[in-house]
């Protein structure tokens, strides 16, 4: 796993929300759950995968997949994109790797 993360690098101090997340509880989560996990000792891996989900009207949402490790435990935490997580990713020492894009917009045959 990657180097120990310093929460001050992510400007976490202004976030008062503590949010627990578990893979069986919901499909995606927000940056607050990621930073709660880091605060609780989970280490972020060296690579963060991401995937764009295309929606109607040409809009998309990006999901970032963070591999986390705490002792012998491992999990992947899917984080929905926000301006905050994009800024945090710029300051993290991780490699971003694109996954296949998901096209959820219906195909219209003419």
What average pLDDT does the segment 18-41 reach? 85
pLDDT tens figures, 64-89: 999 999 999 999 999 999 988 998 89
Give CA–CA dist 36/17, Å, rounded: 8
Which tokens is 42 given? 């989970």
Give CA–CA dist 109/106, Å, rounded: 10
Q: What is the mean pLDDT of the chain?
A: 80
> What is the residue extent of each domain of the chain?
7-102
CB proximity list for 91: less than 8 A, separation 6 or greater: 9, 10
What average pLDDT does the segment 48-55 reach? 89
- Look-up of token digits 């970032």: 64
What average pLDDT does the segment 90-102 reach? 84
Q: What is the dihedral of CA 14, 83, 99, 57, to 10 degrees?
A: 140
């Amino acid at each position: 796993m990657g180097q120990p993360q310093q929460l001050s690098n992510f400007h976490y101090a202004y976030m008062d929300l503590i949010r627990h997340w578990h893979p069986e509880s919901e499909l995606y989560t927000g940056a607050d759950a990621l930073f709660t996990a880091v605060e609780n000792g989970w280490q972020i891996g060296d690579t963060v995968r991401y995937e764009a989900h295309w929606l109607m009207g040409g809009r998309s949402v990006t999901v970032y997949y963070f591999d986390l490790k705490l002792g012998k435990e491992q999990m992947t935490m899917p984080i929905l994109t926000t301006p905050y997580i994009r800024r945090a990713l710029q300051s993290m020492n991780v490699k971003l790797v694109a996954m296949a894009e998901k096209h959820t917009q219906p195909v219209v045959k003419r």
